[in-house]
Amino acid sequence: MDQQEEAEFAKYFANRRDAVRRTAYLLCGDWHRADDLAQLAFVALHRRWHKIRDHGALDAYVRKTLVRSVIDESRRPWRRERFVDEVPEPPASSAGFDTQVVTREALLAGLREVPPRQRAVLVLRYFEGLDVATAATALGCTEGTVKSQTARGLAALRAALDEEVNVNG
């Protein structure tokens, strides 16, 4: 890679680093893993930088690499287990679900309960604001798959949020 390409990559990296990291966090729910996943996506982009013709599609390339990395990581056996030092105490709440506001932490906890592929679709569709066709391209699947995974992901997220409300309230 020559100096001009290196400078272009450095500029793209500086402009998109935080956004890619936030997306990775929403996909995996852990800032440390999000840093690793974002780094993997940028390393893959750097490796292929000289072969990419359409620099307008860089976000799509990074997004697709990121989603694939998250899904691959979630398939590893050690990612399925979660150990904690203490069992958290549920907060005392007299308000019902209708009057409760779902907090950011509750939403992120619910999102962690959604299977990885469905979580990826939800993040791409509702956080990144992608339409069905663009999300399908990013995930390398059909539009019908994106629609079905969206419906299943929303159902799983609702169930996780309802379960959290029942446990905590």
What does the pLDDT look like over 97-107, one tens digit per residue?
444 555 777 88
The pLDDT value given to residue 132 = 92
**The domains spanning 1-81 and 98-169 adopt the same CATH topology:** no
147 has a pLDDT exceeding 50: yes
SS (H, E, C) the chain: CCHHHHHHHHHHHHHHHHHHHHHHHHHHCCHHHHHHHHHHHHHHHHHHHHHCCCHHHHHHHHHHHHHHHHHHHHCCHHHCCCCCCCCCCCCCCCCCCCCCCCCHHHHHHHHHHCCHHHHHHHHHHHHCCCCHHHHHHHHCCCHHHHHHHHHHHHHHHHHHHHHHHHHHC
CATH of domain 98-169: 1.10.10.10
121-142 average pLDDT score: 91
Q: What is the CATH number of domain 1-81?
A: 1.10.1740
Instruction: Please tell me the predicted confidence (pLDDT) of residue 90.
Output: 62
The predicted pLDDT at position 102 comes to 52
Give the residue extent of every domain in the chain.
Answer: 1-81, 98-169
Comparing 110-114, 134-138, 151-155, 161-165, the range with the smallest average pLDDT is 161-165
Q: Report pLDDT for 99.
A: 45
Contact present, 97 and 162 (Cβ < 8 Å): yes
- Average pLDDT of the segment spanning 24-37: 90
Q: Report the pLDDT value the prediction gives residue 55, as an integer from 0 to 100.
A: 81
| Between 53 and 39, residue with greater pLDDT | 39
152: pLDDT strictly greater than 90: yes
For residue 75, is pLDDT > 50? yes
